[in-house]
A and B are shown apart, each in its own frame.
Chain A
Amino acid sequence: MYSKISKKGGGTLSNEGISRKKGFFYELKRKKILFMMLIPAMVFFALNSYLPMVGIYYAFTKFNFQGGLFKSPFVGMDNFRFLFESGKLKQLTINTVGYNVVFILSANILEVFFAILLSRVVGRMFKKVSQSIIFLPYFISYVVLNAVVFAILNCDSGYINTMLVSLGAERFDFYGTPWVWRIILVLCYLWKNVGYGTVVYLAAITGISEEYYEAARIDGANIIQQITRITIPLLVPTFVILLIFAVGGIMRGQFDLFYQVIRNNGVLFEATDILDTYVYRSLKQNFDVGMGTAAGLYQSVFGLIIIMLTNGLVKKLNPDYALF
């Protein structure tokens, strides 16, 4: 839409040449107010994120309390060994990335789909009530969800098994069957998060100018056409943002979901173990700052590589959607 508009704010060509030479301070002076408006964010991220980032150094030390961050002995890559030598890193990486990909895709498709339906359906009351309902699960912690999932799936008195038995079928041992959890975990994730994402898309749809639809209607477009030709293309920037955020954290699993719902059931691990649960299990008994940081660093580097690739790809397709 606006990519065609010339970048007026950047000034004329000659002006740009000067600003490049004069650099930062020239810009600072010219855009004083904008810079000032950035101060809260700068302070926030400096304190909350960048200063604590020195802690990454923990990953390379054998921590002790007297030495603290900088005087504990340097051990190189030793803290990474519990990841790399576990023989599970490949499986864990595949699981983590795999689940996240499925989460991202299925959630976004459903969210866009329902956001569109909700934005178009008539009946204010219906709209309000249903929106509230699909949003509510976001408040439920996975600890509580675990109790509900257990109530539904357990072998002896679970809803599903009671039903199967009354239908004369065999009981199904959910908690002893790894593969079904690939589906159940995705359902749990969707249950909790679809409402949240739907709100994001709904807000984006609300921001679309009515004029476009007006024009389309005049051209004789039906509802489906309006949706596919106007709404969906205009949701792409929002989708890209959600995607980029999800992709950056692709090595970080939904720890609470996996940990609370599966608990310590080793039988299911081959299908349900992700990097976060593995690290937690390994370190829970004796929290080691060095190893914990090392695991985090692995996730970060992996995420950074993936995100660089994704952003590059987005940039190639449409530079306007790229994040940076």
Chain B
Amino acid sequence: MKISTEKIIFNMVSYLLIIILSAFCIFPLLLILSGSFTDNLVLTREGYHLIPVKFSLEAYRTVFEYPQKLVTAYGNTIMVTAVGTILGIICVSMTGYVLMRRDFKYRNRVSFLIYFTTIFGGGMVPWYVLLSKYLHLTNTYAARIFPSLMSPFLIILMRTFMQSSVPEELIDSCKVDGANDFTIYSRIVMPIITPAIATVGLFLAIGFWNEWYLTSLFISKKELYSLQYFLYDVLDNINFAKEMAAITGQPATNLPTETVKMAMVVVVIGPIIFLYPFVQKYFVSGITIGAVKG
């Protein structure tokens, strides 16, 4: 009985706090959502409201003006995200696994070498030259995948997760049974660390999904544009049309800019809202990992 009152109080307080945080997080998002459905000039005059002051689909019409291109951008972004995430998970987990192995003599040195890259960098120019001129990644999907395949943060995070959920004895006993290092990784370690894979996979996927910077550097062919960059490009073309109108005095129809920015957010976030709950089930407490222990 005592435990359950305690539980009730704990849950009530938790609910309250989580609701406060959620409200803090969602309020701006609702403004953005409503903004995207507001008439551009009305938005400029009246500002952001939770409910559109004057409903308009203008922004979405602009974003969807060339549905085929948008579909292409969506399509190749999904492709890049899928390929990149899978490759990324393999690379990150493999590296994390090696660095986790206590019998690997150079693990600290390699960890340091990996970590070191977050502190020191040679800057953009030599990196760009290497990738574009020597690796010929310009206008290839590889340019959008390769540079974000791994990150020191994710590798070390993976290593830490593995250290805390894969017992040393387990690896030793497998070795006694004659399994080689790769088999231990693929058959024993990977299945245990699903929450870690879900986390790392999620972060990788978000990185690829949001990617626009690499596109801006390496991609000049429109059909290879990432979703984010495609939308950025739509906005840029509107601004250009406005500028041209300013220079030549052509009548430009009322092209929305502010609301398009907001609609872009919605278009980008939309699919992710569906992805997240899918990944989420791996974080829901109760998966017994320790069970393999011993």
Binding site for B on A (CB under 8 A): 1-2, 5, 7-11, 19, 27, 31, 33-34, 37-38, 40-41, 44-45, 47-56, 58, 69, 114, 117-122, 124, 126-141, 143-145, 147-148, 151-152, 157-158, 191, 194-196, 199-200, 202-212, 222-224, 234, 237-238, 241, 244-245, 248-249, 289, 292-293, 296, 300, 303-304, 307, 323-324
Contacts and interface: CB of A to CB of B under 8 A. Distances in A.
B122 A34 contact: no
Given A119-B285, A121-B11, A127-B284, A151 B47 contact: yes
Interface residues of B, number: 109
B277 interface: yes
Nearest to B184: A33
B84 interface: no
Given A47-B131, A140-B265, A241-B156, 15 more contacts: A8-B168, A37-B94, A48-B127, A52-B127, A53-B122, A120-B14, A130-B18, A133-B25, A191-B24, A200-B157, A203-B282, A207-B161, A249-B119, A300-B120, A324-B112
A203 B195 contact: yes
A211 B282 CA distance: 19
B110 to A, nearest CB: 7
Nearest to B274: A132
B68 interface: no
Contacts of B6: 222-223
Q: Which 10 A-B pairs have the closest CB atoms?
A: A9-B103, A209-B290, A55-B122, A55-B126, A49-B117, A324-B112, A52-B127, A52-B122, A33-B181, A203-B199
Given A10-B105, A145-B28, A209-B290, A132 B273 contact: yes
B127 A55 contact: yes
B205 to A, nearest CB: 12
A323 B111 contact: yes
Contact of B289 (A202, A209, A244): A209
A303 B119 CA distance: 6
Contacts of B285: 119-120, 205-206
B225 interface: no
A20 B203 CA distance: 39
Interface string B255-294: 0001001100100110011001100101111111111010
Nearest to B293: A209
A31 B196 CA distance: 25
Nearest to A289: B125
A324 B123 contact: no
Interface of B: 3, 6-7, 10-11, 14-15, 17-19, 21-22, 24-26, 28-29, 31-32, 35, 46-48, 90-91, 94-95, 97-98, 101-106, 108-115, 117-123, 125-127, 130-131, 135, 146-147, 149-150, 152-153, 155-157, 160-161, 163-165, 167-169, 172, 180-182, 185, 193, 195-196, 198-199, 202-203, 206, 210, 258, 261-262, 265, 268-269, 272-273, 276-277, 280, 282-291, 293
Contacts of A152: 28
A121 B15 contact: yes
22 contacts: A1-B164, A8-B102, A9-B102, A40-B94, A40-B150, A49-B121, A51-B130, A52-B127, A52-B130, A53-B122, A55-B122, A130-B18, A139-B272, A140-B28, A147-B258, A151-B31, A202-B283, A203-B198, A209-B289, A234-B164, A293-B122, A300-B120
A55 B97 CA distance: 31
A249 B153 CA distance: 12
Contact of B196 (A7, A203, A222, A296): A203
Given A5-B168, A139-B210, A248-B119, A128 B269 contact: no
Contacts of B280: 128, 131-132
B91 A324 contact: no
B176 to A, nearest CB: 10
